[in-house]
Structure 1
């Protein structure tokens, strides 16, 4: 199991490390358009490519969508109460606590631990979480949100198109799929290098600030997996699906939360640190879930 985690984490650590190096030695990552490129091109291509490649019946997909929505809502309520108890504003801190890193961390770990069946579950769950990022995340961090913005959102449109094509058992030409695959390939590396850029410029010295970040970093994986454990038994999932869902909702703070905080002038340094501190906790949760369901 340790080898599995190392295999899943090594690319993440190396790319973030490369981002740290490039930010200190070059100006390659200084362009503000890199984040927009990822949000508007990379993520939609990644989602559409993933959905069209997965094999799952529509009923099973809808069940996964439903359980993910329920878990996210309950985690949102718990996070809201937690932030109020800490006296922290929900605008910038609620989305990172609600939305786990089901993409560049959860998906490879799910595949490594639970195989192809786990990967399929991860893609559906991750797709719903992506919608949450670009509705809940954008809505809170921007300070305003209108429902009509949803239909103009690239990732959401990609999910809708992918769902329609999957439901109707349609497929895109191979050349188009290859193009989507190439576009999606730029997404995670750029996101992780930009994360490294932020880590290179961390300036958190206040002890109370550090204590707050540690508390939030522990809360995210523990509340996510805990709520998932309570909710999943109400659905008719097999053991692999159950384990994968619980593991995914116990993942760390998502890199997209950092991207959104950067875009809307939020506490990006704190969120970057939350990502790194919540990583080992989420891996501990994943290991516990894997052991429990064996």
Structure 2
């Protein structure tokens, strides 16, 4: 396999679509971020997750092992970054959430799909769902000082994962007309998420780029090591191994900025981490792919 063309074919569509969103805003065109995000997270992404799980041919034992590995990876990142934040005297309610939670949806899902195909997508949605569960509960607690466990039950992504897992376990399938409809909705998810990522980054502003750069590099290095170590401990196969490492290394999620803004943490600092870590991923993700492929 000629590695460089392969890596380029995987990452180029991802960052070109994000670049379209970025350029769209910079050119002054309208983009209703709230509407598109709500549509994607309510219909397109849940449809993608449900169909991906229902159609996957990954053995149940492998999916179970990967699920436990995903939870372990999040717990490991939480523990390590808590120690680092304490050691560097960083304000935990501002910095812990962006250090722990990556953009496993907008960026992680497309990369895993293009790199590892349908099997990679099946694993990637498990990691995304784990991130969502943690961020909707513990993540909100970190920033707001209070839990939001009821929010989990109102998230379509959570129900799509649960029903997808149930259909996979029981070997059920939806009627063909419904499967085709959900499949079409799901196909919108990847371009919508990537273009929206570019739009969101284009609208962010910050005056803290120096600190953001050092913390983004720190996040990337720690997450790569932890992702690799957890994947080894759980003896994941090649595809599951690659997905876990890629998802663990995803840049800071835009939702971390939105939470900081909503609950009056230092949103300027988080905006800087979103911008810088996303920019770093343009170079980092091809390098990580070259290592794990």
Q: TM-score, normalization: structure 2?
A: 0.82
Q: Does residue 1:281 correspond to 2:287, yes or no?
A: no
Q: State how 1:48-63 maps to structure 2 within 5 Å.
A: 48-63=50-65
Counterpart in 2 of 1:158?
160
Cα–Cα, structure 1 residues 213 and 167, in superposed 2: closer, same or farther, change >3 Å?
Answer: same
Q: Equivalent residue for 2:13?
A: 11
> Which residue number in structure 1 is paired with residue 211 of structure 2?
212
Tell me the equivalent position of 1:223.
222
1:272 aligns with 2:254: no
Aligned residues: 287
Identify which range, 149-158 or 131-140, moves more after superposition. Answer: 131-140
- Name the residue aligned to 2:67: 65
Query: CA-atom RMSD, angstroms?
Result: 2.9
Who is 1:100 aligned against?
Answer: 102
Structure-2 residue corresponding to 1:126 = 128
C-alpha deviation, 1:213, in angstroms:
1.0
- Which of these residues, 89, 92, 97, is aligned with residue 90 of structure 1? 92
CA deviation string 1:71-95 (max 9, x = no partner): 1101111112223333333334323
Q: Which shows bigger deviation, 2-11 or 259-268?
A: 259-268
C-alpha change, 1:201 and 1:231, in structure 2 (3 Å) is closer
| Aligned 8 A contact 1:255 1:275 in 2 | no
Within a 5 Å distance, the mapping from 1:150-189 to structure 2 comes to 150-189=152-191
Task: Return the alpha-carbon distance in structure 2 between the equivalents of residues 216 and 3 of structure 1.
Answer: 31
Determine the C-alpha separation between the residues in 1 that align with 2:257 and 2:44.
Answer: 16
Conserved? CA contact 1:4–1:109, under 8 Å: no
- The alpha-carbon deviation at position 259 of structure 1 amounts to 6.1
1:250 corresponding residue in structure 2? 249
Cα distance in 2 between the residues matched to 1:147 and 1:125:
19
Where structure 1 has 5 or more consecutive residues not aligned to the other structure, the ranges are none
Judge conservation of contact 1:103–1:126 (CA < 8 Å) in 2. Answer: yes
1-side partners of 2:247 and 2:183: how far apart? 23
> How many Å separate the matches in 2 of 1:140 and 1:71?
18
Relative to the length of structure 1, the TM-score reads 0.82
Cα distance between partner residues in 2 of 1:31 and 1:200? 12
Cα offsets for 1:236-288 (capped at 9, x unmatched): 43345434433432333345545656776744632233222234223323322
Distance 1:66 1:106, change over 3 A: same
Contact 2:85 2:92 in 1 (8 A): yes
Structure 1 Cα separation of the partners of residues 241 and 189 of structure 2: 28
Contact 2:67 2:127 in 1 (8 A): yes
When residues 62 and 239 of structure 1 are mapped into structure 2, their CA distance, relative to the original with a 3 A threshold, is same
CA shift in 2, pair 1:22/1:111, >3 Å: closer
The CA distance in 2 between the partners of 1:72 and 1:103, in whole Å, is 15
Q: C-alpha deviations, 1:131-152, integer Å up to 9, x for none?
A: 3343344444455323232222
CA apart distance, 1:159: 0.9
Q: Against the structure 1 CA distance between its residues 195 and 130, is the aligned structure 2 distance closer, same or farther, given a 3 Å change threshold?
A: same
